[in-house]
Amino acid sequence: EAGVAQSPRYKIIEKRQSVAFWCNPISGHATLYWYQQILGQGPKLLIQFQNNGVVDDSQLPKDRFSAERLKGVDSTLKIQPAKLEDSAVYLCASSLTGRRFLLGNTIYFGEGSWLTVV
């Protein structure tokens, strides 16, 4: 079974430039997540989609970050304009459902997109 696919793997941009990351979740997974992991820290949820609707974007810096999942399958996360503190790994993940109490509802993570802002 194919895992969560992300691209690009690595990106270096200058501050104030824009960048976009793409994610294709595991086939059939209704829930898609974007996490930000700064070096030395645990992942922090930026946004959670259930199909093409937003479930939780309370920790998304909406002045510069945006995300969409138009057809309920793949998703794009955009940063514009980027700041130095946005340097991090952006992890996409997916699960069958967002119902946390459902046994076996494992969250599967992609390998991440590494962003360096200089």
Partner 1 sequence: TQLLEQSPQFLSIQEGENLTVYCNSSSVFSSLQWYRQEPGEGPVLLVTVVTGGEVKKLKRLTFQFGDARKDSSLHITAAQPGDTGLYLCAGYGETSGSRLTFGEGTQLTVNP
3-class DSSP assignment, residue 94: strand
Q: Rounded to an integer, what distance in angstroms lies between the CA atom of residue 48 and that of residue 55?
A: 5
Give the residue with the Cβ less far from partner 1, 93 or 117. 93
Give the residue with the Cβ less far from partner 1, 17 or 105. 105
Among 18, 51, 80, 106, binds partner 1 (CB under 8 A): 106
**What stretches of 8-73 adopt beta strand conformation (E)?**
10-13, 19-24, 31-37, 44-50, 53-56, 65-68
Among 79, 93, 115, 117, binds partner 1 (CB under 8 A): 93
Binding site for partner 1 (CB under 8 A): 4, 40-45, 48, 55-56, 91, 93, 98-101, 106-112
